[in-house]
Structure 1
């Protein structure tokens, strides 16, 4: 049973990384955009992978926590460090990644299809176009990649080598 939990945990990680790979590609692509219609499409794609990311997150956490109990790992520091690092990464990525995208969604009305249909793709006024440029500049995909990738490598090291 323990091996199946570890399998489910790793499978959850794969799903989570797959969804976040799509989100990362969107973040990189958004930097090169200036057309509202393209920004809307990219933000919609980003929103679509959220379900996969959330389900995968639940699977990896539930299986990992359960495997931690079955393996009697909760008395060791590496599992607490892994969980703490995961939480820290989640908070950081939300602040640096999700918030700017949510502000962009609000600007281009990507979360409200009925309102989006009433606003022409080209109808943003000059001040809104400036806001769009400013908001697009707040997206830092390389920083997010370094934080997420570095955190993933550190978490993998903790789980593989269990140093403390």
Structure 2
């Protein structure tokens, strides 16, 4: 049973990374996008319900399977599993704070529905083109990519080598 849970954990991680790859591509693409129509299209792709459902469902599956596997493998007395969990939570919080604020401002400037914290706001009038261009140019795509990829690389190292 333990091997099946580890399999589910790894499979859920692949599903999470695959769907989150859409967000990464959108973030990297928007840095150089100057056409508001195309920027809206990229953001709509990123926010599609199916992608977000798989993203959050796979994140939940990887967390649950990892926690249960930790108990089954008797890993909770080791430091690597705790550090992995803390890193994952830190990555999620950092990416949410860095990414959601900026891209919510971009959505608002483009006249799209946006979020004020956790509260959805209706679409409004689009901002002037110069403001939109400035927001798109300031996209934190590279810091997000570094946090996400670097953090996942460290977690993978901890899981594979179990150094402590």
Between 144-153 and 130-139, the greater mean CA deviation after superposition: 130-139
**Structure (1 or 2) with the larger CA radius of gyration:** 1
Unmatched segments (≥5 aa) in structure 2? 115-121
1:98 pairs, out of 97, 100, 122, with: 100
Deviation of the 1:46 alpha carbon: 0.9
Residues 144-163 of structure 1 aligned to structure 2 (within 5 Å) = 144-163=144-163
Deviation of the 1:138 alpha carbon: 2.6
CA RMSD of aligned residues (A): 1.8
Q: What residue number does 1:69 align with?
A: 71
Q: What residue number does 2:119 align with?
A: none
Between 31-40 and 54-63, the greater mean CA deviation after superposition: 31-40
Residues 130-149 of structure 1 aligned to structure 2 (within 5 Å) = 130-149=130-149
Q: What residue number does 1:81 align with?
A: 83
TM-score, normalization by structure 1: 0.87
Hey, what's the Cα distance between the residues in 2 that align with 1:109 and 1:2?
Answer: 49
Deviation of the 1:109 alpha carbon: 3.2
Between 152-161 and 142-151, the greater mean CA deviation after superposition: 142-151
Q: Contact between 2:9 and 2:61, CA under 8 Å: does it hold in 1? A: yes
Deviation of the 1:14 alpha carbon: 0.4
2:110 pairs, out of 108, 111, 124, with: 108
* SS state at 2:104 partner: helix
Hey, what's the Cα distance between the residues in 2 that align with 1:6 and 1:111?
Answer: 39
Deviation of the 1:152 alpha carbon: 1.0
Q: Contact between 2:95 and 2:144, CA under 8 Å: does it hold in 1? A: yes
Hey, what's the Cα distance between the residues in 2 that align with 1:107 and 1:50?
Answer: 22
The count of corresponding residues between Structure 1 and Structure 2 is 155
Deviation of the 1:39 alpha carbon: 1.1
Hey, what's the Cα distance between the residues in 1 that align with 2:138 and 2:55?
Answer: 23
Unmatched segments (≥5 aa) in structure 1? none
